[in-house]
Amino acid sequence: MTARSAPATRTNRHGARLLALVAAGALTLGAAADVGAQDIGSGGAGRTAAAPGEVSPFTGKEANPGQVLAVKFDNARGARPHHNLNKADIVYVEKVEGGMSRLMGVYASRKPASVGPVRSARESDVELLRQFGHPALAYSGVRSSLTSYLNRSPIYVRSHGRVPSAYFRSASRQAPHNLFVKPTALLKSAPKASLAKDIGFRFGAAPQGGVKTSSRTVRYASASHTFRWSSKLQRWRVSFDGSPAMQTNGKQMAPRTVVIQHVAMPPSKYRDVNGAVTPYIKTIGSGKATVLRDGKAYSTRWSRPTAESGTTFTLANGQRMPFATGQVWVVYADR
């Protein structure tokens, strides 16, 4: 995917205007779309040339080992289209209250000028993120009863309330779906955030076997997530609730690898403002997982013995399941 070229003088004037808008915290939806379009192509905003031999452990592509920033994304209908979620190395799909879903984008290879919309964190996010070491976490807020738990965690929690200068609201969207974060500004408040490291992913050519698959859907009580294989793009086109998962750059989300990881999601002790119980996503342990790549579905087993260890995906023959290089989606599904 590449952006259309424009005359240099026009691009420079336009880019300067957008940077000014971002700095002022007044990015509108239209401007957000322009930023997304400019970031597509040969690297995007925030990426520097990788040193020879440097490969991202999250994507298998050339990249410097950047600091890890996790961003909680809103995924309600009013939050779409998403902005610069396509720049994340990894996207996690999580079940929340009422069978709705939220997303978490993990950034290390690239740091776009802004991403969002941003929403609140959950208790199980700490367990999920501990395999990354000490990453930074951007989110809008949490229930007061959860604040102390997050603050005691090894994660650099950086909410809107704690680092307001790293966030801004879009005038073109309605609250609460209008909060965006500036990754570079936020990471300045967490200078010791961990660099990208091995979390168990492996990349390479597709293995033998697999079942030819045109689409796969993961449903929660009030949300659905569908991945349809595009032989033209050689990618899985993403849809939410029956509609294409669009970005503000006008492109549909389409990763090359999708992992459907079956986990236990029992009720936690926390509830939302309406009294609905928050599920706790158990990402430590082991279980079944289906890996989608190259138009096929591969049955694997996932394993994560401790909070600090990565998550491995193994085929029936004992070999590690290789992912296709590029962005990886991990969708948590009920066992």
Q: Report, as an integer, the average pLDDT of 88-103.
A: 97
- Nearest alpha-carbon partner for 168 in 157, 160, 176, 158: 160
Q: Which long-range contacts link 315-322 to residues 24+ away (Cβ below 8 Å)?
A: 315/207, 315/209, 319/207, 320/202, 321/202, 321/207, 321/291, 322/202, 322/203, 322/204, 322/205, 322/206, 322/207
What's the pLDDT score for residue 38? 29
pTM > 0.95? no
Q: Report, as an integer, the average pLDDT of 255-280.
A: 92
What are 26-72's pLDDT values in tens digits? 333 333 333 333 232 223 445 556 666 799 999 999 998 899 999 99
Higher pLDDT pick, 113 / 50: 113
| Interacting residues of 10 by C-beta distance below 8 A, sequence separation 6+ | none
What are 297-329's pLDDT values in tens digits? 999 999 999 999 999 999 999 999 999 999 999
3-state secondary structure of 50: coil
